[in-house]
Structure formats: C-alpha cells, structure tokens
Amino acid sequence: MAAKGLRLVIVGGGAAGISAASTTKAIAPETSVVLFSEYEDVAYSPCGIPFVHGREIPNFEALFLQSRQHYADVGIDLQLETRVTRVDLRERKVYVGSRAYEWDRLIIATGFDYERPDIAGSDLEGLHYVKNIRRAMEFDRLLEQIKKVVVVSASPLGIEMAGNLARRGLETHLVDESGWLMSEVADPDIMQPVEESLKSLGTKIHLGTKVLGFVGSNGKVKSVKTTTGELDCDVAVMATHKRPNNLLAREAGLEIGSTGGILVDDRMRTRVDGVYAAGDCVEVIHGGTELPVQGLSGSHAYSQGRVAAANAVGEQRSYDPVFIPWGMVGGDVHVGGVSLGETLHKMLGIPHFVAAATGISRARYYPGVTKVRVKLIVEPKTLRVTGAQMAGGEGIKERADFLGFALKRGATLEDFAWMENVYSPPIGALMEPIALAAQAGLTQVKQLRQA
C-alpha cells in the first residue's frame, strides 16, 4: 500500500489536475507532486466566467478558489506558465523544452480545446474562446467598448454567454445550425422555455443557421456570414464543441479512443504502467449505452482526478460508468437531465416511450413556486427509466443528481411513481413532479395493455 517517496508528475492544472494533486497529498503526503500548467493560474472556476460578463457575479477575483500559496503550503510544486512539450514513456520523463523531469507516476490532465472551424476568417482577431480567466478579463474590458456580439453555437456555454451578454445590454445574436438549442444534449420541448427566456432578455436567436465564415476589416472580425444572412458584430464568441486535448498523449504513443479522448480503464490507467489520465482529455464509459463519452462536467473531471491519484499512490479505486446528471440555467430557466434524452434515444434507435408531467416546485399558492416539467424516457419491457430531461425554475440540479443515482441502480417507473416525498408548502408540493411523470407513464402503460 505505501508509496513512500514516489515522484508524481501531473500535466494540467484544471479540475482533474488540481484534484489529483490535492488527493495525492491528502492520502500519501510523502509523495513528491509537481504540477505543470501552461497558464498563469490554477484553481479558479472557468464555469463562472459567463456570469461575471453578465454581472451576476461582481468580478473575476470571486472565481479564484485557492491561492498559489495554499498549494505551496500543502507541498504541491506548481510550475505555472510552463508548457510540457514532450512525454517520454520509456524514460519516464516529461520535458519542458530541453529540461527533463523524472516521474514514477504520471497523470495527464490536459483538458480540452475548442474546435476551431475550418472556414474563411477563422484566424481573424475578435473571435473569442471562453477558457482562460486572464483572456476573459481582457474580453470583459473590451465588452465596455463594443455593441454587437455574435455567439457561435447554442452549446451550454453559448447559451450562458448569449443570455449574460444580452443581460449586459449588448446586441447579442446566437447562431446554431440545429433546429433547437443545445440539440446535442437536450430535447426541443425542454429547450423551448429557454429559447423564450433568452428572447425576453433580448437575445436574437438564429436557429437552422450555419456559420459559413467570418468577414474582417483590418484583420478584425466585423461580421459573420451564415446560411440565413450576414450578421454584423464587433466580436464573435466561439462556443464550439470541446475536443479532448490529446496532443501530448498521442505524441507519446498513448492510445486514443474513438471520441478523441485518451483511453483509460476504470482505474483511470492508460495501457502504460504508471501512467494515468483524467478529465476532459479522456473518454469514459457511459453507463446507459456502454459507449465511450468525453467532455463532461468539472465535477466529473474532479472525481476522475481523485480516482487517478488514489490509484497512482497505491489505493484501489474504480471510476464507474457515468450517467451524467447535468443542469444549467439558460436565460432564467433551469434545465437539466440524466443520460440520454428522447431525441438521442430516437437517433440511436433505442426502444423507449416518454412519461411526462408538469408539476410544481412548492405549494401552488406559495410565493416563488415554479412549474417543473419532467420527462422520463422509459424502456418499454422492463419499465426501467433510461433517461430524463427537465425544465423549471428551481430544484432541477438536485433532481438531476437524484435521477442520476437512481438510473444507475436500475430504477423503474413503479419506483418513482410510489416514491415518498417531502410536502411542505414553502419548499415542496404535495406531489413530487418526478412521481407525477412516472404516474402518467404507468397510466399510459395500463391503457396500452388494456387496449
């Protein structure tokens, strides 16, 4: 069990890298831990950036979680603004240019990069990718001087940016090729209230609209060409698909999976002894489909970092297939879900039916009550729930967590239809919306069987 004097090198200072470093020091403090990041900062919350732009959060300083000193204090050697240029798996060294660092265990946590579209003008100044907090601070100052923004892609980030920039008072356009918002994850009916909320904030939404290129003047973007017309802009926010940053791993000879994520087993081990990977640069197994997935949440990255570190220092810790509870706020609407929605069930040809209901978050008469729409996607033979999608005004995150836990354990419509629930007027209605959806589903089943 003991891992005395092990030298651990971590490449990457995001959620996975930082949690791996902290976990190592917590469970095996004698391990020497060096963490490399190409960036100036670690331990801030990049997910908070859109909300600072929208002034929901007063300033960027609020997003920092820990000081550099904290990491020094616990014995983590942070090497910031230091780009690892090469990993040598045979020599067990990482290289920063010509300088070599030896390791006994290596954790690769190189995160993601945004897909950069291969279209005209994509190298123009004024195309902004939301990631690094220093660039976000500069961008925020720029927002003071400009009027028009086009947000490319109605991804979760695109929706958060579009809502917050509209709230900030900018003329904001959101462009997406699909027929509805967040089409990769969410069902159209679930996203409809988000679309309405964004519009009421002033966001102009262009669906079914493909970006063809960027038009510049003096090297700076001045409009976005799309299949439905040209949109003037001062900047374009590129909320494009996140791709695993697998460059170092690939060049080192590690295996890359079908999604572009580094291949790891359930211990977050690559196929090379002593080498682990975690976070947005890996792919993991989806518990519902058993297919590899990548690009999950900061919370997933954090857990994967913990698992990688625990195994690196000699513990036995497995990372289970994921069911991916998700949630977010689009405009003023909370949406969320677990596993696959109705749309993905259809696309993948998975047999299913939908059990849905609209309940309420508190007693009908209590101030602050909101509707909570719940869709359960159900396997027809066993009545196991294989996915869920929700929209409402509160309690969506907690319900998604619950459903994630329950779906992983094979919960059925019966289980949810007869669940006990808290009833207290200020915080919960007589009937839990999840139970109502399940009851509606059982009624459908009964009618079908009687027909």
**Encoding tokens for residue 365?**
């008469």
Phi/psi at 153 (5° precision):
90, 120
Rank residues 104 and 266 by Cβ distance to its own copies and give the closer one.
Answer: 266
Other CB atoms within a 10 A radius of the CB of residue 228 amount to 11
Phi/psi at 401 (5° precision):
-60, -45
Rank residues 177 and 394 by Cβ distance to its own copies and give the closer one.
Answer: 394
- In the complex, least distance from residue 240 CB atom to its own copies, rounded to whole angstroms: 19
Rank residues 26 and 146 by Cβ distance to its own copies and give the closer one.
Answer: 26
Rank residues 15 and 354 by Cβ distance to its own copies and give the closer one.
Answer: 15
Contact flag: residue 404 with its own copies (CB under 8 A): yes
Query: Pick from 328, 344, 413, 438: which binds its own copies (CB under 8 A)?
Result: 328
Contact 11, 278 (CB under 8 A): no
Q: Which stretch binds its own copies (CB under 8 A): 76-84, 130-138, 250-258, 405-413?
A: 405-413
Query: Pick from 268, 432, 437, 440: which binds its own copies (CB under 8 A)?
Result: 432
Angle at 285 between CA 281 and CA 287, to 5 degrees: 140
Site for its own copies in 203-222 (CB under 8 A): none
**Encoding tokens for residue 179?**
């027929």
Contact 355, 411 (CB under 8 A): no
Burial class (CB in 10 A: 0-12, 13-18, 19+), 260: middle
Contact letters for its own copies, residues 109-138 (x by CB under 8 A): ------------------------------
In angstroms, the first-to-last Cα distance of the chain is 62
Query: Pick from 88, 123, 320, 382: which binds its own copies (CB under 8 A)?
Result: 320
DSSP state at residue 155: S
Site for its own copies in 238-297 (CB under 8 A): 297
- In the complex, least distance from residue 161 CB atom to its own copies, rounded to whole angstroms: 13
Angle between helices 188-200 and 156-167 (to 10 degrees): 20
Q: Kindly state the number of chain residues that form the binding site for its own copies, as judged by CB under 8 A.
A: 63
Contact flag: residue 424 with its own copies (CB under 8 A): yes
Contact letters for its own copies, residues 329-368 (x by CB under 8 A): x----x-x--------------------------xxxxx-
What are the CA-CA distances from residue 438 to residues 115, 345, 358, 393, 434 (Å)? 39, 18, 11, 20, 6
Q: Which stretch binds its own copies (CB under 8 A): 54-62, 94-102, 147-155, 202-210?
A: 54-62
Q: CA-to-CA distance for 432 and 415, rounded, in angstroms?
A: 13
Query: Pick from 17, 20, 28, 51: which binds its own copies (CB under 8 A)?
Result: 51
Q: CA-to-CA distance for 198 and 215, rounded, in angstroms?
A: 26
Phi/psi at 198 (5° precision):
-60, -40
Contact flag: residue 425 with its own copies (CB under 8 A): yes
Query: Pick from 104, 401, 444, 445: which binds its own copies (CB under 8 A)?
Result: 401
Q: CA-to-CA distance for 133 and 391, rounded, in angstroms?
A: 30
Rank residues 342 and 432 by Cβ distance to its own copies and give the closer one.
Answer: 432
- In the complex, least distance from residue 226 CB atom to its own copies, rounded to whole angstroms: 29
Rank residues 71 and 302 by Cβ distance to its own copies and give the closer one.
Answer: 302
Contact 111, 277 (CB under 8 A): no
Contact flag: residue 400 with its own copies (CB under 8 A): yes
Q: CA-to-CA distance for 42 and 66, rounded, in angstroms?
A: 8
3-state SS, 319-383, equals: CCCECCCEEEEECCEEEEEEECCHHHHHHCCCCCEEEEEEEECCCCCCCCCCEEEEEEEECCCCC
Site for its own copies in 9-38 (CB under 8 A): 15
Query: Pick from 300, 345, 352, 375: which binds its own copies (CB under 8 A)?
Result: 300
Phi/psi at 407 (5° precision):
-65, -40
Residue 308's identity, in one-letter code, is A
Query: Pick from 32, 192, 299, 370: which binds its own copies (CB under 8 A)?
Result: 299
Q: Which stretch binds its own copies (CB under 8 A): 130-138, 143-151, 232-240, 413-421?
A: 413-421
Site for its own copies in 56-95 (CB under 8 A): 56-57, 62-63, 65
Rank residues 256 and 285 by Cβ distance to its own copies and give the closer one.
Answer: 285
Under the rule (CB under 8 A), what is the footprint of its own copies? Answer: 15, 45, 47-48, 51, 56-57, 62-63, 65, 297-300, 302-303, 320, 322-329, 334, 336, 363-367, 394-402, 404-406, 408-409, 411, 415, 418-428, 430-432, 434
